A and B are shown apart, each in its own frame.
Chain A
């Protein structure tokens, strides 16, 4: 008989992840399995399941799950709206309401940690995820098979040195080449601010950053990396920032795709995210702009350029406060090409330091940029800025128009604030804020229309310069998210990185449009997903050929019936012919015969009845071999039909039908046929 698999599958099990709530307490999830890796599935059939095998009965039912713990991301200088349950820090001056990204996935018995972000809003223990949540006793390395970092923003990689060096993790860490190059710069910069400027103790050191980076394995785009025998990962281009990638994690036939942060519309320096139709079981996607559909980027760019151009033409100075990486490079390219095109002569400056180093890497990783830059870099690398020069403090007082990019992006301290103070008094000048500003910063004040600012030392600064706001953001909007879901065709979607209320809308849309399940776990919540993986079954060639010979060519759309015996042995499945199965198992073959009596009202003699039966069957079963044997019995293939007189009623004949188990189908058909009686006219 053919077999059909019923029952459930087993698959990923995801671990809950601790997340700080608004009050800053940590809530270990009660259901978190506290066993070391390798024993997380107590079932003896674990190995089988790890390969994605599914057992055809309902007995082995296992759960799979994905956990997501997420908080909002930092994406330096971009719009941040925290999780609903994450109250923004109210400490003045700290200024950044940021989240962190950290997700644990258990798939086919493998545990993978996606991103290892930090929260920039806290200065105490809360800034890092609570890794003791994974294991209270035992080493992290035993529990995690690998760590994957999607891109270099600190809310995605900030906790990495702490995690690997201070908590202790020695397993592999995967990231792309640009991320590997830029990530330590950012970590070092962050460390300097935390330790050198704020004087914090118990923080990771430079050496720790270096040691941590030694554990990193860099991957190329679309390169399939075998983490171990069963687990493989693959990176896809994600846009967003240089080196950002989406990762596909695959164990057996099961897979999860984690998008990290991505952008579906290309910008001046990066391309759009792209994924093939990999049909993962689960797609974990960010949903920053779950309820927003954005306007064309061209309007924004045009507005920006027009404003800068006008200000420069009337001899004013333009200040653009930015964060060192990401948008800054995009705006630089935008202005650089515009200057080139329009033949403008006014100087553009860029504050030195971090940015210079970063630009160096942008120059190197040309393959990660957009079409235009990739195509033209042979003539000229777009990041070799012709018009943009390093800024010196003395330049701020130079006469004549100029454009200056200065850090930080919210005008709360540093160089950008200094320049702002110098230039604020002149109405010819202009400041353009390319991103969102947190409440309490100078940036926020001027954006909300304040014209008189109180500075330190009770000075009052009158702002006469023009204040402009331009939003440049590199996240996919609702349409973009839907587009990616459409491209990847996942079985389930899991939303992270967004506000619950907005995610609700997107969730509803995804379920409606794609008819797939969509989840949006809260921080610390575990999601368990059942999957139905396909189970490979080995079939002997002899059997296959024999069965093939019986029918037409296989048709992909129609299921075919196949006779064989399924042997489950040593966690593999084989389909063999029954003879071979008997031989292998050392069993003797038993004949199973069904016999059935059919009463037939027929006053004639037995021989005549048999003859009538013969001619009737002959006419009905044209495809089969129907024979009338000399002894008066009738055979159809191997089925024997004998007619005998009824012992009590001579008017009734008894037909004895006998068939073997193998001919069950034909036998039962024949019986039902005979039960209907013989046609009257047949003689």
Chain B
């Protein structure tokens, strides 16, 4: 909407402002607010009017709405100090209003616009700049809880805007912690947290005693106390904030885990303490006797503080809270605190381990992840390990895999611990054979982390005997492979270990080193030469010979235009082959190599298509041959989409080149169709479309155009005015010459580039038993896949099902079906519903994963959607096309006719 139009609209509005009906006035006020939010409308002109209306307005609702409008105006003009001050004055004046809604809005206004800096006083105003904090603080004791909440929120808003809150607010906020209303308490907890972060080292007195403590400690105690609040919303809030209070003294921190147990006034040890004691005393049987936990020392009744103990046991309470939201928040907070304090990490271990038995899977999973995150700070005791390992039998795959990840980075203290872990993992393997890969990987890390602990176990694990030869184990047994993975990884840093191997172990090593090279490291074995060179680890990637090779071959290609077409083609083919082979050999270069090879292939196709001799032949004769050129154009298009969307780490400068290539393909298409179609009419549309594409290209990449000197598009743009006016036939002619003259653009290589890939783990596609179901009904097929280097998989990854009749179905998995086990990796676990009419015999359907793309998402926002009326959701959900990026898996199904 143009500015003048807006002005006009506003004038219309002001005419009806005198409307009698308050609801109409309310609507107008809200529309004014919306109007002033739109771009290109300078809201200062309506401010005076709005303030005038405000003064005469009687209805509280309309007042509140008008203040809201003023807020919109104020936020639109953040630089104009005078306006801000004026608005603040207006807000202060209406703070005494009897309606809570008006007071709320005033406070909101103060929070958003009020400033602290006294220096900006304008003498012209004649008003001393008010102390906004003081004014807002006065409303902490308002009679309406909503206003109290708004006051705290306004204060937090001030903080967010970078104004430093006064320390005096702390005491006021503390009083609000015992407010009757949960939203007030919840906001107060936040405020206390904010103040504690601002003034951690200030000293505050403890009431009813002469002692003083640091403010952050005091705040910590108070927030801990809120973990046992009556409202779960407050509890969640408090538990969350605890995690970010890292400056708190360790003395206070450790109290959160100590509930000070007692029984009949005698001090009792916790089960955790008892377990620890049992462990350190070397005794193994646990409390089988009744009264084993009998309390010991007497407690001085005066010293026991049941409730004011502040931090005491806050996490113990939080972790056994009724609501799982609170428990999760508490686990997260524990995690954050433990990461910053190793001694606390050690102490909270017992509690985290206990959380592995929570009734809600999410909580269990969260606590396992937490444990993994703090694992470098801790060493598991045997009894703790025992509890951890018990969870390996969990039926949830997520839990087991999270646990494997945890074991990968856990420190174990004894060789019994390692043995225990191995035994439990093998048990896990027999119970859930699908966990194979994850378990092997876990043992790999377990072995390489604890070589000295594995060493004494080797004879037992390999069941070797000093005198007798034992039977050779089955090489295909996953359990045996698991043991070997553990041993070989330990042996890497323990040179004495290979001496304990028997002959067949060496043979198995050689076999595994070849077949499972990602799990079995290179060993320095007697009588064998080391396979991988130790030198390669020291050189940086740029000096890496393979990287150099890549660079050289690409440079060679870019000198292309000087060669004759035949030679160019050969060189391209050769280089593509080289690159592909390189990608296979060097996994870290695979992305780059593939990416470059694809680009070269596009170029090759283009050259081939242009080399067709038949370009010179008259159109009617050409018809038959056109297949090749149009197929090439189509393929180039596909390849460019792949390049653009299947690689992560593609930067803008690559995107330009890719789009340029696509444009060339489109030009090719245009020429081919121009030559093959008769009549001029269809050409009109095509030409127009092509010119639009060129225009679009120019708009998108205007900044990059200087880099495209002498390129196809550069030349095309020079001739653009002429093209616009020419007839289609002429356009085609020009484009054709251009295309033939265009040079080969150099593709700069990005720093990090990875090709997206997906592997469907399940269904495995090996089953001979068809899935039977009644036709017309659905059958759920579990799909489990790992995705690598996919950006934003929630929106882009789709599942496709191809039925034998050619019918294809695309399924959009739910965002919750995607897990993120590590950087760059995703896991899709979802259910696909299949349905079909009855078949006479079982047949196979194909399941594969697709990457959906939409090239328009790169477009800069069109100016007319500036107001954000079109939500980004709508825009991105439009799928322009899809790229299959996984091998398809065949599933045997059989829809039976329904029985009548």
Please give the residue numbers on chain A whose beta carbons come within 8 Å of chain B beta carbons, in ascending order: 265-266, 268, 271-272, 274-277, 291-303, 305-306, 309, 337, 340-343, 370-372, 433, 447-449, 466-469, 478-479, 482-483, 486-487, 502, 505, 508-509, 513, 553, 556-557
Contacts and interface: CB of A to CB of B under 8 A. Distances in A.
A505 B298 CA distance: 13
A302 B387 contact: yes
Contacts of A469: 287, 289-292
A341 B323 contact: no
B554 to A, nearest CB: 54
Interface stretch (B213-221, B300-308, B780-788): B300-308
B726 interface: no
A502 B573 CA distance: 91
B268 interface: yes
A306 B37 CA distance: 62
Contacts of B96: 553
Interface in B189-231: 228, 230
Contacts of B390: 306, 309
A537 B305 CA distance: 43
A551 to B, nearest CB: 14
B319 A296 contact: yes
Contacts of A303: 271, 286
B478 to A, nearest CB: 19
Contacts of B291: 469
Nearest to B361: A341
B431 interface: yes
Interface range on chain B (Cβ under 8 Å from partner): 35 or more
B262 A299 contact: no
B320 A298 contact: yes
A293 B262 contact: yes
Interface in B278-319: 286-292, 301, 304-308, 313, 316, 319
Contacts of A487: 230
B307 A447 contact: no
A272 B228 CA distance: 11
Contacts of A337: 359
B351 A482 contact: no
Contacts of A305: 357
B259 A296 contact: yes
A483 B359 CA distance: 24
A277 B180 contact: yes
Interface in B353-383: 354-355, 357-360
Interface stretch (B393-401, B630-638, B792-800): B393-401
From A293, A337, A448, residue with most partner B Cβ within 10 Å: A293
B324 interface: yes
Contacts of A277: 180, 230
Given A294-B261, A343-B431, A556-B141, 18 more contacts: A265-B320, A274-B230, A291-B263, A292-B263, A293-B260, A293-B261, A295-B261, A295-B268, A295-B270, A297-B320, A298-B351, A299-B270, A303-B286, A372-B359, A469-B292, A483-B228, A505-B301, A509-B307
A296 B351 contact: yes
Nearest to A514: B307
A298 B306 contact: no
A299 B260 contact: no
Nearest to A471: B293
Contacts of B180: 277
B265 interface: yes
B264 interface: yes
From B270, B271, B355, residue with most partner A Cβ within 10 Å: B271
B769 interface: no
B321 A266 contact: yes
Interface of B is mostly: loop
B355 A298 contact: yes
A509 B316 CA distance: 21
Contacts of B351: 296, 298
The 10 closest A-B pairs by CB, nearest first: A299-B271, A266-B322, A298-B354, A469-B290, A447-B290, A342-B393, A482-B307, A291-B265, A482-B306, A343-B395
Contacts, number: 125
A266 B230 CA distance: 13
B270 A479 contact: no
Interface of B: 96, 141, 143, 180, 228, 230, 259-265, 268, 270-272, 286-292, 301, 304-308, 313, 316, 319-324, 351, 354-355, 357-360, 387, 390, 393-396, 431
Given A306-B390, A479-B259, A553-B96, A266 B320 contact: yes
16 contacts: A276-B230, A291-B263, A293-B263, A293-B268, A296-B259, A296-B270, A296-B319, A298-B320, A343-B395, A371-B323, A466-B288, A467-B288, A479-B306, A487-B230, A508-B301, A556-B141
Contacts of A271: 322
Contacts of A300: 271
Nearest to A485: B307
Contacts of A557: 141
Nearest to A484: B230
A486 B355 contact: no
Contacts of A306: 387, 390
A504 to B, nearest CB: 9
A371 B270 CA distance: 27
Contact of A448 (B228, B290, B308, B313): B290
Nearest to B316: A296
B264 A513 contact: no
Contacts of B289: 449, 469
Contact of A299 (B228, B264, B272): B272
A292 B262 contact: yes
A294 B262 CA distance: 7
Nearest to B360: A372
A509 B300 CA distance: 13
Contacts of B431: 343
Contact of B306 (A302, A509, A556): A509
Nearest to B354: A298
B392 to A, nearest CB: 9
B322 A302 contact: no
A576 to B, nearest CB: 25
Given A372-B360, A479-B259, A295 B320 contact: no
Contact of B395 (A268, A295, A341, A448): A341
Contacts of B323: 371
Contacts of B387: 302, 306
Given A292-B264, A448-B290, A478 B306 contact: yes
Contact of B307 (A340, A343, A479): A479
A513 B308 contact: yes
B307 A513 contact: yes
Contacts of B321: 266, 272
From B286, B321, B357, residue with most partner A Cβ within 10 Å: B357
Nearest to B292: A469
A340 B395 contact: yes
A483 B263 CA distance: 18
Nearest to A449: B289
A271 B321 CA distance: 9
Contacts of A296: 259, 270-271, 316, 319-320, 351, 354
A268 B357 CA distance: 11
Contacts of B304: 509
A337 B321 CA distance: 19
Contacts of B271: 295-296, 299-300, 303
